[in-house]
Amino acid sequence: MTETITEIPKEVEKALESQDIILGLKQVKGLIKSGEAELVIFASNSPEDVVKNLEELSKLSNTSIKQYSGTNAELGIKLKRAHSVMVAAVAKSK
């Protein structure tokens, strides 16, 4: 079961500052598959099939995944974007 969070984790805030945050489903999936994702966050109103796929990929790559309790519009605001965000990932430090 995926953990539901109400606040953005500290590692996401740090990633926003250093610009190590990846947005968008295609890009996040690629990051997970390559093993370069440290943490994945998705909005509560994400489609069920998308969530299942992200959870499966995250299990295979041992990536932490969390559901943000707000909508994609609210997640976009929390991530300081002028648009909605369905899914975001923190890239591992190199």
Residues 24-37 pLDDT 10s: 999 999 999 999 99
Q: Which amino acid is at 59?
A: K
pLDDT band at 94 (very low <50, low <70, confident <90, very high): low
What does the mean pLDDT of the chain come to?
90
C-alpha angle 55/61/67, rounded to 5°? 30
Residue 83: band (very low, low, confident or very high) from pLDDT cuts 50, 70, 90: very high
Provide the pLDDT for residue 71. 95
By three-state DSSP, how is residue 26 classified? helix
**CATH architecture designation of domain 3-91:** 2-Layer Sandwich (3.30)
Q: Could you read off the pLDDT of 51-67 as tens digits, one per residue? A: 999 999 999 999 999 99
